[in-house]
Structure 1
Amino acid sequence: MTSILQLLPLCALALASAVSIVDIPANSPKRVLRPDLYGYSIEPSSLAPYLQSDIASNALGEIAKIAGVPAPIRVGGNIADQTIYDKDLKVPSEAFPNDSTVDVLRIQKDWFKGWKEYFPTGTDFIYTLNLRNETTAWVNAMLEAQAAIRTLGDSLTLLELGNEIDHYINKGWRNASWGTHEYTQQWRRLTGQILSSGFYKNATHKPLFQAAVFADPPLVPDQHDEIDDFDIVNVTRAGLVNPRIIETYAVHLYPQSTCDEVRRARLSLNLLSDHSVVWKNISQFIPQVTAAEKAGSRLVLGETNSASCSGQSGISDTFGAALWATDYVLTAASIGLDQVYFHLGHQSEYSAFTPLPYEYEGEELEAGVRAHFLSHLFLAHVVAGNSGKGLKISPLAAANASDLSGYAIYKGGRKSSLEKLVFVDLGVWNSTTGLHNPSTLSATDSESSSPGNRPQRTLQVNTPWAEGTPVEILRLQGPGTNAKSGVTVSGVGVDVHTGRIEGEKVAETGIVGQRGVVSCGISQAEAVLIQKA
């Protein structure tokens, strides 16, 4: 077997341009890298449309095969607090006034049926109960909990109480006294009713709870809907601490927004394609992670995506969004936010899958898979083989710039060994190909292109691997940052109409050079996974 440089013409070309030398620190702090780090949050009113199509089922089935575990699914969102349990309803669910504009979602127990059959075997579900009305002894929430526990069984791992409860004053659902202390009292009251109920006590499997579910990030003022004290530091100080039943706390984050014209005007694909922006957004949660861990629980990004209020086509549905999501998830994992749930609506511009055709802004959009789903396919390979003592992640300080990020992946316990390396080039490179996807708005197909040849750089990584160690390289590739199609993981893509894998994997192979040096080329707007073969 010859060296990587001899095997990979891209690397040889890159030597003529920039060279990035990357050292691997001997004793860097490491965080758990879960095999189910990438999950999805589905708006309750969108669940029925998703179950009418095989697209998401097929795509997530492929993920489970590679990662070794299915992606976790949270059924929650704004409509969770507008969901009414109606045992006399003649159909499983009914949205009023319609599926596109929902004021009230009525459900009965049959609504929970089919979830386990649709999603891959072993999928863990989180379900959000309606916390909006506290004046009726939580009758509605109790009926929801009973139906979910009895129908979903051991697939229901966690219950949430309310969605984005730090927006309740602004929505008119609580008065000005609403804060961490009052919320903690109500949370304890409802969880106490659930825990003491016959349906919970008699359940073979008893789900635990995901607490907090806060929307407003600590340090982004224009993402705040109201003045309050809701964050993990404050809520744990207020006494919402019970590791016996609180598995996780959840926060939500949307780095951009389409919710009003001021923020919509600032939307930019270039802001997604910037690791320094990703780090600024994620690192604000470091004190929140610490507070959750001190309370004996974990912190997760329970709902997120590229831009709030359903995203923006031409930004949210591009290859650039796939590179952003890759870097975003790994950055989150590196600080201890070990699971990230990307929000889905069945007609949302940021959704990775659109289950059914629909008319939008004068266009007929097809059902399908969008380019940014390929980030999940790539990360499934990153976490593959995550068994035994599991994998851990550490960011690489030598690969930390606006246009480049890097991560070391380790296996084992105290004497962990380097197993994989991930690098994400976030430099913007716009192409004239792959600009259309039939499930996205053609009006947002890009007309921008970057001049000249696509830039490349050589990564020269000083690893502890022995000379001659065989390695494999996989690449998350697309025609350009602005592409909506043609995205692959080393030649493997997803059929945009069915969600099934297509193409043949073309993995590059080579060996570690002298003194443990691994040299590999990376194009602008590309991610690479280097792993021991």
Structure 2
Amino acid sequence: MTAKWVVFGVCAHVVGALASVTVYHQLHQQPLSLTTTANAASYTGAAAYDPTVLEPPPPPHPPINRQFGIQLGNGGTPGASIPQNGAFFGFSIEMSVVDQVLGKNSTLLQVPFLNLLSNLARRAGGVRIRVGGNTQETAVLVDSTQSGRVLEKDINGVSNPTQTPPLDYTRDLIYMMGNISQLVSVDWFLGIPFNDTDHFRLAVAEVGQQVLGPRLIGLQVGNEPDLYARHGHRPSEYGPFDYVGEFGELVTAMEGDEHVVNQRLLIGPNIATGDWTPEMVWNTGFVDTFSSNLAYLAVEHYPTDNCFAQFGIGTPEDPQELFPNFLNHNAGRAIVDPYRNSTVFAQEKGKRLMMFETNTASCGGFPGISDSFGAALWALDYGMQMAHSNFSGALFHVGGQNVFYNPFTPPPTNQSTFRQWTIGPVYYAALVMAEALGPSNAAQVHDLEANGGNEFTPAYTIYENGNPVRVLLFNYITDSSGVNDIIVNIALGAAAPGQVRIKRLAASSVSQKGSFLWAGQTFGSNFESDGRLQGVETIETVSCDQANGVCSVRVPAPGAALVFLSDNALSEIERGSVVTYPTTAQTRTHNTVTIDPAVLATSNGHSAMNQKGKNLGSTSKGSVSGSADMRRRYGGVFWVSVVVAGMVGPLTMGVAMVVGL
């Protein structure tokens, strides 16, 4: 929803596409000279909106094979994954930013967040979200905070290289999660603080189970315990056996807590594969010892880090040099490779292994990489590779304004009444993967190692009940000339349909920022989204050569194409419409009137309120009111911000109206 906002005074700006600023000058005033936008090198704003654009890598030389075939068959195929949940691609939200992302409290929820979740739930059948991260380790559940908010941070008590603040939070935070699940099919993970194993704080498990019930599907025990010693949270000799011992102490504590009803929700070991490997933990007998308590096995991992730029630790990295490393099929495979033994181990033990926290780079990601179209291709390929390799889910991390990699970012609090959300490339990847897997929870993923295993043109087949239903094709190359577009001949033999349907993930370059297209629709650029796709959905129809059993699909450079091999495969995803949510409350009740710019042009200046016959009044609360004349002019209706999630709608004389979506 596009809204016009006015700042009364010397200037007013029109917020929508954020493409221009209209300035009204007082009579006889000499306009100031214009200032051009600062370049990315001197940008000092929030990382989430960093303007850095990198150079895409040139097309490979020698050129790749640009036309190739893939052979599919009914009855399944060796190498396909275990059946995967449609909600495989979920999110890990840092606990310290929950009141920015989910809502202010249990009664004031963020509408764009609900809409973003609804997009996924309609396609995948549900969404899985973890609330936790570093800040869960020191979080304390309190009856109330001094500010009355659902959480408070102790900025003076920061710890860790990433400057993690201790948190106090109230049970209303968990009620807020529960209310979201009343509206959208969301399952939750929480974390038990593990900083004081002599006095476990089990309140999060108690209240979580009481409030969320079956929507609470896991409790994390320790966040990256293999880094505890390095970060000064345990003695230097702390190792896997020590973690397993503390895990056992927690189980004993939970057995003695009558309020922790379900003791089978625990998740471990959650290592970052930094100072330990998963095998080091498995070799302790951890899984056998606590099998009845473990809902999931889990690891966390980022392929690299940007900690030097953010916190002055580690090794400096140049995003431009790193960019090509994310733009090929080997990138996702390299992250998954260290865990292939563990996915086999998990299946042998009857457990599910999750990637519990991940993204482009720890310490917030990189400018120009984490927020580029290349990151959308990378995250989608990486997610599909994890599914193919028998992970049972992956949670991509969400931080605050100071990170580059967010799947979605609410506007800064002091701008939330006139700016909307920013949707990052990782969310687009989540949307595409939700459609690729679908809601059946029977999808099996197979990496086809297409085009002779070429790293720039990977392809996956998605099977249901042994039959291919969808194919996902990639092209990592940037080339606007069309020379590096690829043509994939999908061979289905006698099962070839008369036609296939195609949705495309598209941008002009892997370095493009914002305004990506999924099936012709977009969430726009920075500050432009209310969580709903904008534009007309475009689903292409391509005729097949049934005589030869082949369907040929073009994939532009760069981009991805999701091919639906039957009408049923598409209708499974397109069933019904996405449920969207109205704004039904306001968080600001004065100085929010919008007005036609032509009227504003004559109303600026201190004396405008007293111009003869105008009675325009003051914009300050409690000052001279011009409302009587405004009611006469506009028939008693003011367009006022009704903000829950930055949505804007009509308010008639102080009565909150539901915005029809």
TM-score, normalising length: structure 1? 0.82
Q: Is 1:254 the equivalent of 2:302?
A: yes
Identity %: 23
What SS class does the counterpart of residue 169 from structure 1 fall into? Answer: coil
Partner of 1:500: 532
**One of 454, 460, 471 as aligned partner of 1:407:** 460
Partner of 2:111: 54
What SS class does the counterpart of residue 404 from structure 1 fall into? Answer: coil
**Offset of residue 340 of structure 1:** 1.0
Q: How does 1:350-499 map to 2 (within 5 A)?
A: 350-357=405-412, 367-386=421-440, 390-399=442-451, 400-412=453-465, 416-429=466-479, 452-453=481-482, 455-464=484-493, 466-494=495-523, 496-499=528-531
Partner of 2:613: none
Distance 1:27 1:58, change over 3 A: closer
TM-score, normalising length: structure 2? 0.67
**Offset of residue 274 of structure 1:** 1.2
Partner of 2:252: 192
The one-character-per-residue Cα deviations of 1:445-464 (angstroms, maximum 9, x if unpaired) are xxxxx7x4563111112224
- CA distance in 1 between counterparts of 2:413 and 2:541 reads 44
> Which of the pair is proportionally richer in strand?
1
8 Å CA contact retained: 1:304, 1:342: yes
- CA distance in 1 between counterparts of 2:208 and 2:137 reads 16
Distance 1:50 1:186, change over 3 A: same
Q: How does 1:80-119 map to 2 (within 5 A)?
A: 80-87=136-143, 89-90=145-146, 91=148, 92-97=150-155, 102-118=164-180
**Offset of residue 418 of structure 1:** 1.3
8 Å CA contact retained: 2:425, 2:514: yes
- CA distance in 1 between counterparts of 2:270 and 2:137 reads 12
Partner of 1:236: 282
**Offset of residue 206 of structure 1:** 6.3
Distance 1:195 1:135, change over 3 A: closer
**Offset of residue 110 of structure 1:** 2.1
Q: Is 1:269 the equivalent of 2:269?
A: no
**Offset of residue 182 of structure 1:** 1.4
Whose radius of gyration is greater, 1 or 2?
Answer: 2
Distance 1:518 1:181, change over 3 A: same
Partner of 2:649: none
- CA distance in 1 between counterparts of 2:224 and 2:478 reads 33
User: Where in structure 2 are there 5+ consecutive unaligned residues?
Assistant: 1-64, 104-109, 310-314, 568-661
Distance 1:81 1:385, change over 3 A: closer
What SS class does the counterpart of residue 501 from structure 1 fall into? Answer: coil
Partner of 1:14: none
The one-character-per-residue Cα deviations of 1:451-480 (angstroms, maximum 9, x if unpaired) are x45631111122245244432111111122
- CA distance in 2 between counterparts of 1:493 and 1:479 reads 14
Letter in 1 for 2:99: A
The one-character-per-residue Cα deviations of 1:488-514 (angstroms, maximum 9, x if unpaired) are 221122253211122222111234323
Partner of 2:348: 294
Q: Is 1:64 the equivalent of 2:97?
A: no
Moved more, 285-294 or 489-498: 489-498
What SS class does the counterpart of residue 22 from structure 1 fall into? Answer: strand
- CA distance in 1 between counterparts of 2:172 and 2:94 reads 17
**Offset of residue 254 of structure 1:** 0.9
Q: Is 1:523 the equivalent of 2:556?
A: yes
Distance 1:154 1:401, change over 3 A: same
Letter in 1 for 2:155: P
Partner of 1:126: 189
**Offset of residue 285 of structure 1:** 1.1
Q: How many residues align?
A: 471
User: Where in structure 1 are there 5+ consecutive unaligned residues?
Assistant: 1-16, 217-223, 430-449
8 Å CA contact retained: 1:405, 1:424: yes
Partner of 1:444: none
What SS class does the counterpart of residue 308 from structure 1 fall into? Answer: coil
- CA distance in 2 between counterparts of 1:212 and 1:71 reads 23
8 Å CA contact retained: 1:357, 1:367: no
What SS class does the counterpart of residue 191 from structure 1 fall into? Answer: helix
- CA distance in 2 between counterparts of 1:194 and 1:377 reads 38
**Offset of residue 483 of structure 1:** 1.2
Q: Is 1:330 the equivalent of 2:384?
A: yes
- CA distance in 2 between counterparts of 1:237 and 1:467 reads 48
Moved more, 124-133 or 280-289: 280-289
The one-character-per-residue Cα deviations of 1:217-266 (angstroms, maximum 9, x if unpaired) are xxxxxxx3xx4xx3332222212113332121111111121012524236
8 Å CA contact retained: 1:300, 1:337: yes
Distance 1:365 1:319, change over 3 A: farther
**Offset of residue 417 of structure 1:** 1.1
Structure number with higher relative contact order (C-alpha < 8 Å, ≥ 6 residues apart): 1
Distance 1:467 1:66, change over 3 A: closer
Distance 1:263 1:207, change over 3 A: farther
- CA distance in 2 between counterparts of 1:258 and 1:109 reads 34
8 Å CA contact retained: 1:95, 1:102: no
- CA distance in 1 between counterparts of 2:539 and 2:517 reads 12
- CA distance in 2 between counterparts of 1:180 and 1:55 reads 41
Distance 1:101 1:497, change over 3 A: farther
Q: Is 1:170 the equivalent of 2:220?
A: no
The one-character-per-residue Cα deviations of 1:499-530 (angstroms, maximum 9, x if unpaired) are 11222221112343233211111111111111
8 Å CA contact retained: 2:496, 2:551: no
**Offset of residue 37 of structure 1:** 0.7
Q: Is 1:23 the equivalent of 2:71?
A: yes
**Offset of residue 146 of structure 1:** 1.5
8 Å CA contact retained: 1:425, 1:522: yes
The one-character-per-residue Cα deviations of 1:183-223 (angstroms, maximum 9, x if unpaired) are 1111022023224421123xxx666121111112xxxxxxx
8 Å CA contact retained: 1:318, 1:372: no
- CA distance in 1 between counterparts of 2:268 and 2:461 reads 31
Partner of 1:77: 133
Partner of 2:86: 35
Letter in 2 for 1:110: D
